[in-house]
Amino acid sequence: MIADMPLAEAILYAERIPRENGIRRFRFLNERAFVKFVSSLNIVRSPAFRVETGNRRFYIVHGSDEYGEVVAFYSNGRSKFIETSFERMGIAIKSCGGEYLLDLLKL
């Protein structure tokens, strides 16, 4: 259950990426940790993005918490769990082609 995972534990599944223009960026290695982190944000800028590049699928969220702006993403293929969780949280998902990926992540 997402609610059972403490936020501090969810962060253990995140890889920090260097800041870009003061925006914190995290790559999550676990889909449940990613959803827990997104659910903890004060603001989620809708929509979230589902970006497909070949056989990989990325889920990307831009939002903010008490520490400022943040971009979080998860990539490990299709995730029914993420899509269902976002739907329940009222977060729309917009599908994009792979050409948007680098720009969205500012990599």
CA–CA distance, 75 with 56 (Å, rounded to integer)? 7
pLDDT value, residue 107: 46
pLDDT band with cut points at 50, 70 and 90 for residue 19: confident
Tokens, residue 14: 């995140």
pLDDT digits (tens, 9 = 90+) for 50-65: 888 777 788 999 999 8
pTM: 0.82
Please report, for the chain, the start and end positions of each structural domain, with discontinuous segments joined by +: 2-105
Tens-digit pLDDT profile for residues 80-98 = 899 999 999 999 999 887 7
Closest to 100 measured CA to CA, from 62, 45, 61, 49: 49
